Amino acid sequence: MTERICYACGERAAAPATRCDCGEPLWLDTDPHDFDWNAVADDPGMWRYAELLPFDSPGGVADAAGGTPLLRLSRLDEFAGVRLHLKDEGSNPTGSFKDRGSALGVAAALESGVNIVGTVSHGNMAMSTAANAASAGLDCVVLVPDDIPESRIDLISQYGPRLLRVSGDYAALYDRSLELGVELEIPFYNSDVPLRVEGQKTTALEICEAFAPGVPDAIVLPVSSGGHASGVWKALRELKTAGTIDQLPRLYFAQAAACAPIAEAFDAGDDAVSPVEGGETIAYSIANRDPPSGTRALTAARETDGGVVAVDDDEIRAARGAIAESGGLSVESASATSLAAIRRLAVDGELGEEDDVVAVATGRGVSESPPSSERATVDRVDIDELGERLGSR
């Protein structure tokens, strides 16, 4: 199951290649023909889908990856303009969907006998890779930008990885680390490498199993590198190949307007995604100006009759507030782009109020301040006057 195949041209390649000669990213060449929902395993979280994964759980914290709640949040229907379901990836052990890919990456490393893994990240992926490595007893190297804030260092370093602040062109590190990784036998689990994409398939497997024998009308998720989008698309293709689902839900991807290369390519009808300059946004964790799986995500949106939507910071802020105040969940701004995009698609008539739509909330709002831009006004009262005050509400 370690042979790899190009989604775009169909060429095959052997591990550890991550890119096809045509330039597009490779994914694992899996054969899902025998799969059906009765074949799921009695294992925790994402390992339920062992049949569709190349490795078994390494145990420890990896056992907690996936198996996240899919919530019907009807109080958000009016805001969203659809029948809203939310996939709460914040309940993963380090608070984001990244644990799905990290868990599988660590499983692969243990299987192949290496004692170290690496990643290029200063956000959720860094914490997730370091945590999963720690639990498995593997060394871990995390390459972070030179100007990383100290608060991020604290969050990542608690799991005991080796952090390296790298000066120079941080964007070039994605490719450079993969090259060095091959040379030095350090598997680098960057955002859209085949094993990470394979683990991230399980988000969509869980969603589809919950809707079985049907599927939701659409699944909407934030897109940054395109790795999660690719995993979700791959899962749907495999379920279709296996005959487990008859039709694919439409896939929509959300970007922050300030940095939206995939949405721009979609709107322009381009065949490939080009880098953009990119600006500041509160959804900084998905502000990827040159997404390595951008064209793959673009293709996923087109082939499923979906789309790619850019939403601005005001829309993101409103969505994040609505999820907290009407849904009872605190999600990071990047995650709130899903709901913001759904609202926009509903206003534009592309989604309707009878549509069952899943917003994937990719991570908990832990490293961000709460959504309200202004501090709440809080009344003061003396305990002796409390009855009067509460009684007059």
Q: Quick check: 160 binds its own copies (CB under 8 A)?
A: yes
CB count in 10 Å sphere of residue 363: 26
Q: Quick check: 339 binds its own copies (CB under 8 A)?
A: no
Instruction: Please state, in angstroms and rounded to a whole number, the distance separating the CA atoms of residues 219 and 226.
Output: 15
How many residues in the chain?
A: 393
- The answer to whether 43 and 335 have CB atoms below 8 angstroms apart is no
Stretch that binds its own copies, among 166-174, 212-220, 223-231, 249-257 (CB under 8 A): 166-174
For 190, the token pair is: 């960057």
Nearer to its own copies, 170 or 284 (CB): 170
Q: Quick check: 46 binds its own copies (CB under 8 A)?
A: no
Nearer to its own copies, 12 or 75 (CB): 75
Q: Quick check: 362 binds its own copies (CB under 8 A)?
A: no
Stretch that binds its own copies, among 28-36, 64-72, 199-207, 310-318 (CB under 8 A): 64-72
20: left (phi over 0), alpha (psi -120 to 50) or beta: beta
Q: Quick check: 61 binds its own copies (CB under 8 A)?
A: yes
Stretch that binds its own copies, among 13-21, 31-39, 84-92, 254-262 (CB under 8 A): 84-92
> In this chain, which of 59, 149, 243, 279 binds its own copies, going by CB under 8 A?
59
Nearer to its own copies, 90 or 307 (CB): 90
CB count in 10 Å sphere of residue 258: 18
- DSSP code, position 161: P
CB count in 10 Å sphere of residue 156: 24
Tokens 């279709």 found at: 240
Instruction: Please state, in angstroms and rounded to a whole number, the distance separating the CA atoms of residues 339 and 188.
Output: 32
Nearest distance in Å: CB 260, its own copies = 26
Instruction: Please state, in angstroms and rounded to a whole number, the distance separating the CA atoms of residues 129 and 119.
Output: 7
Whole-number CA gyration radius for the chain:
21
**Exposed/middle/buried for residue 342 (C-beta within 10 Å: 0-12, 13-18, 19+):** buried
Stretch that binds its own copies, among 23-31, 136-144, 189-197, 294-302 (CB under 8 A): 136-144
Instruction: Please state, in angstroms and rounded to a whole number, the distance separating the CA atoms of residues 215 and 257.
Output: 29
> In this chain, which of 169, 213, 269, 277 binds its own copies, going by CB under 8 A?
169
Tell me how far apart the terminal alpha carbons of the chain are, to the nearest angstrom: 64
- The answer to whether 288 and 225 have CB atoms below 8 angstroms apart is yes
Nearest distance in Å: CB 177, its own copies = 8
Instruction: Please state, in angstroms and rounded to a whole number, the distance separating the CA atoms of residues 43 and 50.
Output: 8
Stretch that binds its own copies, among 25-33, 156-164, 211-219, 253-261 (CB under 8 A): 156-164
Strands 139-145 and 116-120: parallel
- The answer to whether 125 and 367 have CB atoms below 8 angstroms apart is no
Q: Quick check: 94 binds its own copies (CB under 8 A)?
A: yes
> In this chain, which of 34, 147, 150, 277 binds its own copies, going by CB under 8 A?
150
For 275, the token pair is: 């880098």
Write out the binding residues for its own copies, residues 277-336 only, by CB under 8 A: 321, 324-330
Q: Quick check: 42 binds its own copies (CB under 8 A)?
A: no
Stretch that binds its own copies, among 129-137, 216-224, 292-300, 349-357 (CB under 8 A): 129-137
Site string for its own copies, 372-391 (x = CB under 8 A): x--xx-xxxxxxx-xx-xxx
Q: Quick check: 180 binds its own copies (CB under 8 A)?
A: yes
Nearest distance in Å: CB 108, its own copies = 17
> In this chain, which of 33, 113, 354, 369 binds its own copies, going by CB under 8 A?
369
Q: Quick check: 16 binds its own copies (CB under 8 A)?
A: no
